[in-house]
Every structure is written in structure tokens, then in C-alpha cells.
Amino acid sequence: MTETGAGRLLRNPEAPARATLLELLYDVVYVAALALLSMRLAGQVTLPGAVHSLLLLMAIWWTWSVTTILTDFYDPGRPFIQLVVGTTMVGVVLMTAALPTAFDGHGVLFASAYVAIHFVRGILLVSALRGHEAQARAARFLFWFMVSGVAWIGGGLAGGTARAWLWALALLIDYVSSGLRYPTPFIGRVPLAQYDKGSEHLGERYQQFVILALGDMVLVPTLRLRDSGFAGARIVAFLAAFATTLLLWQIYVYRAGAFLRTAITRSPARATRWAAYTHLIMVAGIVATAAGFEVVLKTPTVTTATGWIGLIMGGPALFLVGRMTFEYEVFGRVPWSRLGWLVVLVGVGPLMVLVPSVAVTVITALILLGIAISDVVVHDLAGRWRRRQRSRQRPEAGSGRPKRVRPQGDGGRRGAAGGPTKPEGP
């Protein structure tokens, strides 16, 4: 491929921000993956089960995140990039099929599919970009995925605890190398200027995946309700679960469009580098919450076990932590009202062992409702305060100085409450 042809693979900065149909089709694969993860976690509410589910989620998430960065840097309308995305889809489907038994008899299939996704993509891009400066970027990604691939395959061949440790090491390599901008021998790191090229397309893609993940919180409880029957307590738990889904959606999307667009515009490098990590926390919270709904709908009236509380209330707590962390890392501000509600959510958790699981689900939904309402109230109060400050500082027409009212003493004009009118201005 000529240098000119290689350059055409890069995304045009003026290209539309909307995702292509192929990207949306690619996302559909993850519907099954997230549902299977939630069901797997619901069936193994133990510390080892939670660790295994987290490792699998991190692997699944990283395939989506890296592919999304690919389609933001390169042009997804080009047939060659579509070929790369298509081969990735094949690997993700194989990973999803092996996911429920990845720590049993299909570890090699899961690990091999993961390694093949990144290896094939890297080889294709390095070959296609020969002679173009973007080839170094693809080579950096390929180098580090080859390094982590050794631990991935080794974990697939090993068994028991060794598999978990080796896969944890592989994921550590993948995530840390990305955070360090893929420092590679002889060619260095990915230049910061390339992260500054993040577009609104990237923000839209993260929003789309969160909405897709929230669909897991509808699918899993619906399947469980169908299989377990329509008893009164299950109906209440199902409605509370659906309300929780809507409230998490509201908490995420409330001013999220403006939030992400501003992040991309003001701090594209920070937004691009932090979005993958913070959104992983949010998706982990969604998966845990969906698993909690699965458990509640199966046995809604029994006393809530500690592990169940960790899913039902810990899932939304994780979601809030991810959302707040992203806002803090990009803008350096803390949403204090949400932090206060997070303390409430975590603080009441130990008391939930005294009530049935359906009650825990309802209480969680009520706390999230409080967050959604306080978001609106705080935003409205902040808007009024800003408008009041602007009106007080607005200079008098025809004058460069703020308007002031001359003091008139006791006999002057009175205010509405009977007192003297205060001078206007700052």
C-alpha cells in the first residue's frame, strides 16, 4: 500500500461524529457477553467468583475499548478498517462462547481468541501502514499485546489459581502499558499529540456502550422472572430493578452529552486516556447490579446475604465512583451531592442483612432516586447563582463601571420589606 493510500486510512478530523452501522453491529456482540457475565457472577457470589468475573470483564472490555480507539483514529468507512473490525468480531464471539467456562475447560480458547484479536489487528495495521508515521503507533500496540500474550496463553494452559494469577498479570500489562502510552524499545511512546486528536465520535461511542450495558439490567431480570414465576414479591423486585435501570441511565446521561463534548474540547488527551478506565468501573457496576437482580428475583423474600448486598448496592456504588472519577480527572471537580449520596448508599449496606432482598432492591432504587432529584436541584441552584452573579456585575449602559445606587438615608426609597434599598453591584 502506498504512503498516500496508507494515509487515507486515518480518520478525517471533519468526519461525522456518528458511529457507523458496522460499529453498532460490533456492539451487539457484547450484549451476550455482558449477560453471560452477570449470570455467571450471580451463580458464584463468592470472592473467587467475583475475582474471576472481574478478570473476564476486563478482558472483554479491553477488546471493545481498543477497537473503539481504532475506529476513532482510523476511518471506519474504509474497507480495510472494516476488515479489521470484522476479524475482531469473530474473536469476541469466540471469547463470549468460552466465557462461562473460561476458568474450567475452555481457558485456552478464551485466551487464544483474546491474543489473536490483538495480534491479527496489529499485523494487519503494521503491514498496511508501511512507510507512514502511523505505523509506529500500530507497532507499539502490537509489541505490548505480544508481551501480554505470553501470560495469556500461559494462563490458558495452566489451571486453578495459576490461571487467575497469570491472567491478572496479562491484564496488568495491557492496562498499565496503555496508561504509560505504550513505551516501546527504539520507537518510544505514543506522542501526547495523538491523544489530543480525540473526537466527539469517541465520546459518543462510550455513551452508546453504557446504554447497551444498561440493557443487561433489563435482559437478565426479565429472563429470571420468566423462569421463576410471577409471584407478588418478584413483581415488586422486577419493577424496582427496572426503576434502578432508568435511574442509573438518568444519572449517567444527565448533562452527559455536554459533559463529554466539553471534556473532548478542553482536555482531549486526559479524556481519551481516562475514559477507558473510568467507564470500566461503571460497566463493572452495571454487571454487578444485574447479577444482584438475578439473585433477588430467584429468592426475593429470604434474608439478604452479605454477598448479595455487595451486588445489589455495591453495583450502583461502583457506577457512581466511575462517573465521579471521570469528572474529577477531566475537570478537577468533585460532585459533592453525589458523593454524599454515595456515603449513604454504602453506609446503609450493613443494615440490609436485616431485611429481605426485595426490600434491599427497593431501598437502593429510592437512594438512586434521591441522587437524580438532587442533580436537578443542585444544577438549578447553581444556574440561579451564576445568573445572579452576572446580573450584579453587569455594567450600566453607556458606562464602563458597575451601576451603584446613591444612599438616600431614612427618608429615601424603601425596599419591598420596608428597609432601605441596598446598593446594586458587586
For residues 230 and 83, give the distance between their C-alpha atoms in angstroms, rounded to a whole number.
Answer: 46
Is 190 strand, coil or helix? Answer: coil
Query: Domains of the chain (ranges plus CATH)?
Result: 8-190 (no CATH), 199-391 (1.20.1410)
Report residue 280 as a C-alpha cell.
470500566
C-alpha cell at 111: 485466551
Side chain identity at 56, as an amino acid letter? Answer: L
Cβ atoms within 10 Å of 232's Cβ, excluding its own: 10
**Distance (Å, whole) CA 107 – CA 399:** 76
Q: How far apart are CA 365 and CA 370, in angstroms?
A: 9
- The conformational region for residue 197 under phi > 0 = left, psi -120 to 50 = alpha, else beta, is alpha
123-153 pLDDT tens trace: 999 999 988 888 999 999 999 999 999 999 9
Q: How far is 124 from 397, CA to CA, in rounded Å?
A: 65
In angstroms, rounded to a whole number, what is the distance separating the alpha carbons of residues 90 and 199? 27
Question: 93 vs 30, 170, 211, 251, CA distance in Å?
Answer: 9, 20, 20, 31
pLDDT tens track of the chain, all 426 residues? 444 567 788 887 777 778 889 999 999 999 999 999 999 999 999 999 999 999 999 999 999 999 999 998 899 989 999 999 999 999 999 999 999 999 988 999 999 999 999 999 999 999 999 888 889 999 999 999 999 999 999 999 998 899 999 999 999 999 999 999 999 999 999 887 777 666 678 888 888 999 999 999 999 999 999 988 899 999 999 999 999 999 999 898 876 555 665 666 666 666 777 889 999 999 999 999 999 999 999 999 999 999 999 999 999 999 999 989 887 877 777 888 889 999 999 999 999 999 999 999 999 999 999 999 998 887 666 666 666 777 777 654 445 555 555 545 444 444 444 444 443 433
Separation of alpha carbons 144 and 150, rounded Å: 10
Alpha-carbon span 312 to 316, nearest angstrom: 7
Task: Look up residue 351 and give its DSSP letter.
Answer: G
Q: pTM for the complete prediction?
A: 0.86
Residues 6+ apart with CB under 8 A from 149: 115, 118, 119, 170
Closest CA to 49 of 100, 106, 109: 100
Q: What is the rounded CA–CA span in Å between residue 297 and residue 235? A: 8
Cα separation of 242 and 424, whole Å? 50
Question: Rg of the chain over CA atoms, in angstroms?
Answer: 26
Q: Provide the residue count of the chain.
A: 426
Q: Which residues contact 386 (CB under 8 A, 6 or more apart)?
A: none
